[in-house]
Amino acid sequence: MKEHPLLKEQEKTKSPAPDANVPTTLQLSKEEAEIATNQDKKVEAEIRTKLRQQGYQSLEDGLKDMESKRQEATQRLESAQEIENSAIKLKGEFEEEKQKAIRALVILKQREEGTNARLERAIKIENALNSKDERYTIAIKELQALIKYHHTYITPCVKSLKLVSKSIYTWIDLLNDTEYDFSVLYNYIGRVTRKLDNYIADMPAYIPNDIIPKDEVDE
């Protein structure tokens, strides 16, 4: 009987028998899985050892402590944000106080100029008149009006400016309690407050009421 040509072709291309010494893909996969598992166990054991060295009894305790520290760090960050917001608010309030001080200084300067003008007028009248002249009484009353004007307007302004100056230094102390650098602002504040303090120091905060003899007032 004659063999079919297809059968001969199949015999030629038939797969060789597997070698028992060559590992299969499944065996390799199992070995890799075992190696990975052993590696994971080794890493986990190292982590647990380090945790025990740091005083933790278990991995869960370490994770809890890490979460606690994370929450604490978050709270500190929120506190820092609150401090920053407070500093910004203080800076705004200080700017408002500074503007008030500038306005008060302008008003005081205007009133001082008015006082000086009236004082010069009173001095001119007093120097030009004889003490027995009836116009001398007018000069006395003018001087009394000047003293009253000073006590009514100038003295409160000087006291107010002293309070403003004190308030500025208070704001500086509050800003010093924060962790932010306000050195540029402090330099500007220092220049303003020094000028303000020098100006206040040169101003008479009080004029005695009895600088004019009473017997010469109501003649």
176 falls within a domain: yes
User: In this predicted structure, what is the pLDDT of residue 213?
Assistant: 47
Domain with 138, as residue range(s), is: 91-216
User: In this predicted structure, what is the pLDDT of residue 216?
Assistant: 45
- What separation in angstroms does the CA of 118 have from each of 14, 150, 176? 130, 11, 45
47 falls within a domain: no
Average pLDDT per run of 10 along the chain, which is 219 residues long?
52 51 62 71 71 66 74 83 82 82 81 79 68 64 72 71 73 69 67 70 57 47
User: In this predicted structure, what is the pLDDT of residue 156?
Assistant: 72
Closest CA to 174 of 112, 88, 111: 88
- Reported residue count of the chain is 219
The Cβ of residue 65 has, within 10 Å, a number of other Cβ atoms equal to 14
3-state secondary structure of 131: coil
The Cβ of residue 157 has, within 10 Å, a number of other Cβ atoms equal to 20
Residues 6+ apart with CB under 8 A from 137: 219
User: In this predicted structure, what is the pLDDT of residue 200?
Assistant: 63
28 falls within a domain: no
159 falls within a domain: yes
191 falls within a domain: yes
User: In this predicted structure, what is the pLDDT of residue 146?
Assistant: 72
User: In this predicted structure, what is the pLDDT of residue 82?
Assistant: 83
Residues 6+ apart with CB under 8 A from 179: 80, 83
User: In this predicted structure, what is the pLDDT of residue 26?
Assistant: 64
Domain count, the chain: 1
79 falls within a domain: no
116 falls within a domain: yes
**Three-state secondary structure along 124-174?**
HHHHHCCCCCCHHHHHHHHHHHHHHHHHHHHHHHHHHHHHHHHHHHHHHHH
77 falls within a domain: no
